[in-house]
Structure 1
Amino acid sequence: MDQLCYLALSVLLAIIVVYGLLELHYFLRMCLCVLLARFVKRRCHILDTTTVNGLCLTNDVDTLLYHMNNARYFRELDFARVDFYERTNLYRTITGMGGSVFQGAATIRYRRFIRPFHRFNIISRIIYWDEQSLFMEHRFVRPSDKFVHCIAICRQRVIDVSMEAVMSELLPRTSSNGFRATVLPSLAAPSPAAGGISNPAMDTSLAENGHGTTSGGATGTGATPTATTAHCLKLKPSLPPELAKWIEYNDMSSKNLRSGC
């Protein structure tokens, strides 16, 4: 009997230590998101929108106990991105081509509180990409009336592979009927200024971190135009004006940091 008590006490102590050293809820939920996205939810086209459900619990509220903590929104975005990566096969395509992806920047705008014990949906989609980056929009939406509580834009940086090449691999795959009906009519072939941004600040930043920029690929200099690349250009959305301003801000910030400002 004493041995059982000691064993139970040891297990309880181990659980307390794990909770103290790791955010166990985060890792358990992340594993659940991966499993659901890979084995339960349907596959999506790379330009489709994906939705994950959330609930504001007591461990999500701020010190006023009145609404979800502002930092929790970014935490929730991790689960939305993992769901999107798995269902669109984006992450496996990037790693399969020898590259990797990480978050380079994010901006968020809050419109209205999410109250404790209120449900919300995170709707994620790709709004643009260039040679080194993928830009995603995430909306926190109230399920009952589709009110947008907040909107976030995240810049996912890819290294050791061209994002244009990744999209050329994923775009030709058959898209869903919903995507064709709602997105394709609004997409136009990008202009040279918007369709493939040549950003010296990005190139310099990658070089500073020891990563060579990837040129060529599906849209590289000297590449022979094909039916696939033409199809991808037609599907590529034009650069939203607000995103162009945000990219400009990030570039200015990078230049200031490099100059010691």
Structure 2
Amino acid sequence: MYIWARLVRTVIAARCGKPLAGGATKSSVVGRIWPQDLDINLHVNNGRYLTLMDLGRLDFVFRSGLGSAGLKGRRRPVLTGLSARYKSSLGLFQKYRMETELIGWTERSIFMEHRIIPLSGPARETVAVTAVVRAVILEPDNSKVETRELLSGLGYPAESPPLSESCASLLSPAERAALHDAGAGGGRRRDMSFPERSAAR
């Protein structure tokens, strides 16, 4: 069962709450584990962690202002890649903090990292789950919106920070080769340093 009630509460809180400062790259939300989040081993199902991360992305998108450009005119966000690592588990009624951070971008993709941190129990205040996701914004005709348009006016720099290995693992072979060539040429790895036309969605 999808977490519709929590999603609605998150969107309302993000839209009515304090916006992030211009250019801010990180937001956080606090949640609790409920019975429907558990599997037969009575801890959070691996897939449920990924569903809970939807809440972190929504909070960041609406509080940063990305939602205004990303969702206008029947545009829709789509995940095109994900890499997750599970370090410890969360149990029933356990509170957690989810940190969501914008860590880089390319011409038409955005990379975010999620960190789920228990607020109680033996693993308190240590990262239990991390995931890096790659997302694109699609127009109604399924063309990808350029990142520069999404970030324009929100206080973010024109260049992406260097992409981490976790981000690079979500690129196509052609994109990784172009990124490597750009780095080998002595220049800083840039958000516009390679095209995405050859990348598979």
TM-score normalised to structure 1 length:
0.58
Write the deviation string for residues 154-204 of structure 1: whole angstroms up to 9, x where unpaired: 1111234211222233226xxxxxxxxxxxxxxxxxxxxxxxxxxxxxxxx
Q: CA deviation at 1:87?
A: 0.4
Indicate how the Cα distance of structure 1 residues 250 and 57 shifts in structure 2: closer, same or farther if over 3 A, else same.
farther
Q: 4+ runs of 1 displaced by more than 3 Å?
A: 95-100, 248-252
Unaligned regions of 5+ residues in structure 2, if any?
A: 140-144, 177-197
Find the aligned partners of 2:64 and 2:113 in 1 and give their Cα distance.
15
Identity of aligned residues (%): 25
Find the aligned partners of 2:93 and 2:77 in 1 and give their Cα distance.
33
Find the aligned partners of 2:55 and 2:69 in 1 and give their Cα distance.
19
Write the deviation string for residues 197-218 of structure 1: whole angstroms up to 9, x where unpaired: xxxxxxxxxxxxxxxxxxxxxx
* Aligned residue number for residue 153 of structure 1: 132
1:101 partnered with 2:77: yes
1:35 partnered with 2:12: yes
Any idea what SS the aligned residue of 1:239 has? coil
Of residues 165, 173, 184 in structure 2, which corresponds to 1:241? 165
Pairwise CA RMSD: 2.7
Write the deviation string for residues 17-56 of structure 1: whole angstroms up to 9, x where unpaired: xxxxxx4x722222111111111x2111343311111211
Q: Match of 1:163, as an amino acid?
A: T
Any idea what SS the aligned residue of 2:158 has? helix
Q: Which has the larger radius of gyration?
A: 1
Of residues 47-56 and 236-245 in structure 1, the stretch that sits farther from structure 2 once superposed is 236-245
Count residues with an aligned counterpart: 170
Q: CA deviation at 1:72?
A: 0.8
Q: CA deviation at 1:248?
A: 4.2
Any idea what SS the aligned residue of 2:171 has? helix
* Aligned residue number for residue 49 of structure 1: 26
* Aligned residue number for residue 171 of structure 1: 155
Write the deviation string for residues 115-150 of structure 1: whole angstroms up to 9, x where unpaired: 222111110011110111100000001235420001
More strand, by proportion: 2
Find the aligned partners of 1:83 and 1:26 in 2 and give their Cα distance.
15
* Aligned residue number for residue 18 of structure 1: none
Contact 1:46/1:90, CA 8 A, preserved across alignment: no
Contact 2:94/2:119, CA 8 A, preserved across alignment: no
Any idea what SS the aligned residue of 1:247 has? coil
* Aligned residue number for residue 179 of structure 2: none
Find the aligned partners of 2:73 and 2:61 in 1 and give their Cα distance.
15
Contact 1:108/1:153, CA 8 A, preserved across alignment: yes
Q: Match of 2:161, as an amino acid?
A: P
* Aligned residue number for residue 142 of structure 1: 118
Q: CA deviation at 1:60?
A: 1.1
More helix, by proportion: 1
